[in-house]
Amino acid sequence: MRTTLVLFFVWFLGHSQLSLAQADEEIEREIEIKAIAGLKYDLTRIKVKPGERIKLTLTNADEMDHNLVITKPGARLQVVDASNKLRENGPRLNYVKASDKVLWSVRIVTPGQSAYVIFQAPTKEDVYPYVCTFPGHGLVMYGAMYVTTKDLPPLEKDLNVPRATATDVGMEHHHAVADLHPYKTTPPYLYRIFMPDAGPAAIAVSLPKQLSYCWDAGTCRLRYAWQGEFLDPKKYFDKKAEKYAQIMGTIFYRDKTSYPLKFSVDKNPVVDFKGYKLIERYPEFHYTIDGKDVYELIKPKEDGSGLIRSFKVPEATQPLYFDFDNSDGATYTTSKGNINGDQIKLTAEDAHAFVIVMTKKQTAK
Amino acid sequence: MRQISALMILAVLVTSCGKESKYPDAKSAYIVETIETPSGLNAETGGIAFLPDGRLVACFLRGEVMIYDPEAKLWKLFAEGLHEPLGVLPISESEILVMQKPELTRLKDTDGDGQADLYETVTDDFGMAGNYHEWTYGPVKDHDGNLFISFNTASEWGIIMDEVRGRLDTILVPFKPKQKFSAVPYRGWVAKVTPSGEFIPYAYGFRSPSGLLITPDNQLFVVDNQGDWVGTSTLFSVQQNKFYGHPASMIWVPGWKRGDPSKLPLEQLNAERQRAVVQFPYGIMAASPTQPVLDNTDGAFGPFAGQILEEIKGVWQGACIPFIDKQGLHKGNNRLAFSPDGSLYVGQVQHGFIGDTGIQRIVFTGKVPVDIYSMNITDEGFDLHFTQAMDEATLRDTSNYHFRHYYYEYHLKYGSDQFDVQKVGVKDIAVRDGGKTVSLKLENLKPGYIYELTMGELKSEDGEVLTNRLVCYTVNVLRSGRKDTPPLAY
C-alpha cells in the first residue's frame, strides 16, 4: 500500500512538471470537452492525429464534480475499478489510481470550473478511452479518443461510446406520447407536469377531438387551451425532470383575466385546490373560492371547435361573475345568466349549475 | 436521490427467529430476486408499500401507481398522471396516499373497479419555485394518525419559475456562494399534517430529507443527504421546532428577522443545530442513503431484528453496517418495504443520477448469516455482538481489528473532508457469551468522532468468514455523559 502511494506521487509530480515545462507554444490542437447533466461528456469521441500535441480542457457544466482520465486502449473499466477502491483517499488523489493503464488526466473539476492537461498523443493508432472516475460515474460517463488519420465509424454503430449517445442520435425528431407508459394513452387523460406559461402545479389534459388544455392547480384556473397533438413530456421525463413538457399543437386560448370567477366584481377570491374526480376519465376539478366549493368539468365541443366548461357552485348564496377577455381567443355562450361585455353575471341560483361554451375564434387571414 | 451503495437497515424490534426455510440448500443467507415489471413501464420507483391484502403498491416517477399481486405475478394500474410521486402509504385496498411533487394526494377507488377515480388534495400548503430539486417525500404516519412529509431544498443549478406557488422570498438569491436554497415556504422542512388536515411546519434545517420513519415508540427519524452544510449523510431523530443544520429553510421560521441565514456566524448556526444520530461516512458506507425501514418480521427476514441504535444519557447514537452489497442487488435503491412474507422489497431509481430502475426483493433463505448483529458503546470501547458464535482464536487476535476515528465538519462547502484521522489501537479484548460477543477496549474514545472498524477474516465456530467486516459508530456522547465534541464536528 505504501509503495503504491509513493509511486503515485512521483508520477503525479512528474506529470505536472511536464505540463509546465513544455508550455502552450507547442500545442498543435486545443480541444474542450464539457461535463454535462446526466453523467455525460458533451463530446463522446474526439479524433487526433498520432503524435499531435494536445491541450485538452475539461469544463464542468454539470452540478457534480467530474474528472477526465485517458487510459490505455481497453483499460477503461480496470481504471474505473481501481479508482473505486481508493475509498476515502479518493478526493485527495482526484479519484485517480496511478497505474500504467492511466495515460493522462484532468483533475477533479467542480461545477462551473475548468482545468486542462497538455499531452502528446500516442504515435500508435488506436482507440484510447477517456472516462470520469468520480465514484459511480465511470460505468456511464466516458468517451473515446481516436488516434488515427482515418475516418471514424458511424457514431450509432460505435461501440466505444456510451450506448445512450448512440441511440440519442436517431431520436432527434419529436415523438408524441407513445411507449412512455405500460398502457396506451387514449384521451381523455392527464399529466401533472411542469408546463410553460403556468405555475409549477400545472395539469395538462388531453381531450378527444385534438383538443388539450392546461389547468393550474396552484391558482385554480384554466390557463390556456390548444389544438393539435397533446404533449411531448419526454423533455420533462428525461433525466432530472427539470424541463417543461412541450406543447405539440397551437394554443388558441389564453386566460387574460386577473381571475375569472368571483363573488365580487372588483376583488379576486381566495382560492384553494381540493383535487379532482374522474368522470368517464374527464377530470372534474374541485376547488374553493372564498371558501365555497366549485366543481369544474371541461369537455370538447362535439365538432372540436372549442371547450364546454360545466361549473357547479352548489353553496352559492350571492351572484357570481365570470370574467373573460375579448382578446383571449374565444367567443362565449352561457347556459345561464347574462353576458355583458367581457363578463357573465349569474344569480346565486344560476351559479348552482351552469355551462359556459368557449368557441375558438376564426382567425382572419 | 443519488444511489446508495449499501443498504441500511435500522432494526429496533427485539424478536426471536426461527422459521422453516424455503431454501434448505442455500449457500448464502440472502438471495436477491428481480420482480418483473410490465413492458412500457419506466420503473423508476418513487414509493413502495404493501396493501392489507398482501399485494404490493408502487408509484413510479412518470406518474403511475400500480398494484402487483406477488402470487399471480400480475401488475394492475391503479392511478396515473401524478407528478413525480416519491412516496406511497396505503390506507386500504381502495384508498392510497401518495406524495407527489405539488401535493399529498388521497387516491380513492369509489366505484370498485380497481382504479382510483377520486384524487383528493390532502395538503398543498407548501410552496413550489418550480425547481427540479424540490422533491417531496413521505408520508409516514405516527401512532396518533398524524402524517409527516418533507420538502427538498431547491438547487442552485435549477431555476425559479416566473410564476411560483407560495410566497417568494429571494433573500438567498443570487446564491453566492452556491448552495441549496428555499425560495418558497417550507423548502427544507418536515411538516406534520394532523388527522383533521391541519398543516404544521414541524422542523427545519434539512437539505434533502429523502427518507422518513416512525419508530415503534412513536419517534420520527429523518435521513438527510451529504452536500452543502451536510458534511456526510445522516440520520436524525427529529423533534418539533428544532433546527437540523442546513440554514436555507430558516427564513420560514415564523417572525424570521435575521436576514440571510447562511450569513449568520458559523458558531451561532453550529450552536443552534441538532446533531445526527448516525452519520454514514461518504463513499465508505454510502453516497446517498434513502429510506430507513424497521425489521418487524419476527425473524422471517433473518436474525437482524434487534437493537442497533442506542440511547445514551438521552442522546441517540449508533452504528451503520453494510447489509447487502452487490449480490445481484442493483444500484439506486430508493424505497424499501417488508412484504407480509418477510422478504424485503426494494425499488430503484436513477433520475439523471447514477442508479437503476426496477423492483427487487431480498429473501432470507433460512441460512443464518455470519454477521455483526449490533455494536454498542461501553465505558472504554465497544461491544460487538454477532449473529453466531465466533471462533475464539480469531476473536482474540488484535490484528483482526483496525479502528480509525475521524470527524466530518459542519460548513457551507459541499461535503467535508475527514478531520483528525487517527488509527486507534485496541488495548484489551474479552470474549463473552460463548463467542457471540467481543468486548474491545480502545486506547481512546472521544465524543464527536466516527469510529470506523474494519475487521479481518473473523470466522464463525463453523469456520465461515464474517460477511460484512465494516462498521462505523457515531459517538455523540460517552456513557459517562461526556459530549465535548470537536467544535465543528458534524
Give residue A111's pLDDT. Answer: 84
All three cell numbers of A195: 408546463
User: How far B326 CA lies from chain A's nearest CA (Å)?
Assistant: 14
Give residue A170's pLDDT. Answer: 29
Question: Do B331 and B409 belong together in one domain?
Answer: no
- Chain B residues with CB-CB distance to A91 below 8 A: 417
Question: Do B435 and B401 belong together in one domain?
Answer: yes
Model confidence over B151-176: pLDDT tens digits? Answer: 999 998 889 999 999 999 987 665 56
Residue B317 buriedness (CB in 10 A; 0-12 / 13-18 / 19+): buried
pLDDT reading at B16 higher than 80 = no
pLDDT reading at B459 higher than 80 = yes
Contacts with B445 (C-beta within 8 Å, 6 or more apart), sequence order: B377, B380, B381, B451, B475, B478
Give residue B175's pLDDT. Answer: 57
Interface probe with A: pick from B1, B3, B100, B117, most Cβ of A within 10 Å:
B117
Question: Do B387 and B351 belong together in one domain?
Answer: no
Give residue B322's pLDDT. Answer: 92
A160 confidence band (pLDDT: 50, 70, 90) = confident
Dist CA B165 CA B163 (whole Å):
7
Dist CA A253 CA A365 (whole Å):
17
Report the SS3 class of residue B108.
strand
Amino acid at residue number A260: P
Q: Which of residues B219 and B20 earns the better pLDDT score?
A: B219
Give residue A287's pLDDT. Answer: 98
My answer on whether omega of the bond before A188 falls inside 30° of 0, hence cis, is yes
Report the top-level CATH class of A2-168.
mainly beta
Cα–chain-centroid distance for residue A90? 31
CB pair distance less than 8 Å for B124 and A201: yes
Which residue from B352, B314, B317, B350 is spatially nearest to B332, judged by alpha carbons?
A: B350
Give residue A31's pLDDT. Answer: 92
Amino acid at residue number B400: N
B61 touching A (Cβ < 8 Å): yes
Write down which residue in B364, B390, B421 finishes a domain. Answer: B364
Answer yes or no: is B487 within a domain: no
- Report the range of poorest mean pLDDT among A216-220, A316-320, B282-286: B282-286
CB pair distance less than 8 Å for B283 and A277: no
Amino acid at residue number A256: K
B14 confidence band (pLDDT: 50, 70, 90) = very low
> What range defines the domain where residue B37 resides?
30-364
% chain A with pLDDT above 70: 88
Answer yes or no: is B394 within a domain: yes
A267 touching B (Cβ < 8 Å): no
Residue-range domain boundaries for chain A: 2-168, 189-360
Q: Which of residues B17 and A93 earns the better pLDDT score?
A: A93
% chain B with pLDDT above 70: 93
Report the SS3 class of residue A5.
helix
B457 touching A (Cβ < 8 Å): no
Question: Do B78 and B159 belong together in one domain?
Answer: yes
Question: Do B274 and B338 belong together in one domain?
Answer: yes
Q: What CATH number did the domain enclosing B409 receive?
A: 2.60.40.1220
CB pair distance less than 8 Å for A242 and B38: no
- Chain B residues with CB-CB distance to A111 below 8 A: 157, 178
**Residues B280/B286, Cβ–Cβ less than 8 Å:** yes
CB pair distance less than 8 Å for B100 and A192: yes
Q: What average pLDDT is seen over chain B?
A: 92
pLDDT reading at A1 higher than 90 = no
B440 confidence band (pLDDT: 50, 70, 90) = very high
Q: Which of residues B69 and A89 earns the better pLDDT score?
A: B69
Question: Do B343 and B397 belong together in one domain?
Answer: no
Question: Do B318 and B378 belong together in one domain?
Answer: no
Q: What CATH number did the domain enclosing B171 receive?
A: 2.120.10.30
pLDDT reading at B483 higher than 80 = yes
Model confidence over B81-131: pLDDT tens digits? Answer: 999 999 999 999 999 999 999 999 999 999 999 999 999 999 999 999 999
Question: Do B308 and B405 belong together in one domain?
Answer: no
Place of cell 406524495: B99
B254 confidence band (pLDDT: 50, 70, 90) = very high
Give one DSSP letter per residue of A67-131, joined into a string. Answer: EEEEESTT-HHHHHHHHHTTGGGTGGGTT---STTEEEEEEEE-TT-EEEEEEEPPSS-EEEEEE
pLDDT reading at A167 higher than 60 = no
Write down which residue in B364, B380, B402 finishes a domain. Answer: B364
Question: Do B178 and B194 belong together in one domain?
Answer: yes
**Residues B441/B428, Cβ–Cβ less than 8 Å:** yes
Candidate from B2, B82, B116 with C-beta closest to A192: B82
What is the average per-residue pLDDT within B398-405?
Answer: 97
What is the average per-residue pLDDT within B204-216?
Answer: 96
Give residue B130's pLDDT. Answer: 96
- Rounded to two decimals, the ipTM of the complex is 0.92
Give residue A25's pLDDT. Answer: 53
A275 touching B (Cβ < 8 Å): yes
% chain B with pLDDT above 90: 86
Write down which residue in B308, B341, B364 finishes a domain. Answer: B364
- Report the range of poorest mean pLDDT among A91-95, A255-259, B411-415: A91-95
What is the average per-residue pLDDT within B64-71?
Answer: 97
User: How far A250 CA lies from chain B's nearest CA (Å)?
Assistant: 22
User: How far B315 CA lies from chain A's nearest CA (Å)?
Assistant: 28
Answer yes or no: is B290 within a domain: yes
What is the average per-residue pLDDT within A345-358?
Answer: 98
- How many residues are given for chain A? 365
Residue A339 buriedness (CB in 10 A; 0-12 / 13-18 / 19+): middle
Q: What would the 3-class secondary structure string for B365-379 be?
A: CCCCCCCEEEEEECC
Q: Which of residues A161 and B75 earns the better pLDDT score?
A: B75
- Chain A residues with CB-CB distance to B165 below 8 A: 199-201, 218
CB pair distance less than 8 Å for B119 and A278: yes
- Report the range of poorest mean pLDDT among B2-11, B50-59, B152-161: B2-11
Dist CA B175 CA B32 (whole Å):
44
Split into its structural domains, chain B has a count of: 2
CB contacts under 8 A, A 122-181 vs B, are 135-137, 139-140, 179-181
Question: Do B354 and B396 belong together in one domain?
Answer: no
Question: Do B387 and B358 belong together in one domain?
Answer: no
A164 confidence band (pLDDT: 50, 70, 90) = low
What is the average per-residue pLDDT within B48-68?
Answer: 97
- Pairing label, strands A271-279, A292-300: unpaired
Model confidence over B117-162: pLDDT tens digits? Answer: 999 999 999 999 999 999 999 999 999 999 999 999 999 888 999 9
CB pair distance less than 8 Å for A274 and B100: no
pLDDT reading at A155 higher than 70 = yes
**pTM, two decimal places:** 0.81
Answer yes or no: is B481 within a domain: no
Give residue B307's pLDDT. Answer: 63
B177 confidence band (pLDDT: 50, 70, 90) = low
Maximal CA-CA distance, chain B: 69
Give residue A171's pLDDT. Answer: 31
pLDDT reading at A289 higher than 50 = yes
Question: Do B333 and B378 belong together in one domain?
Answer: no
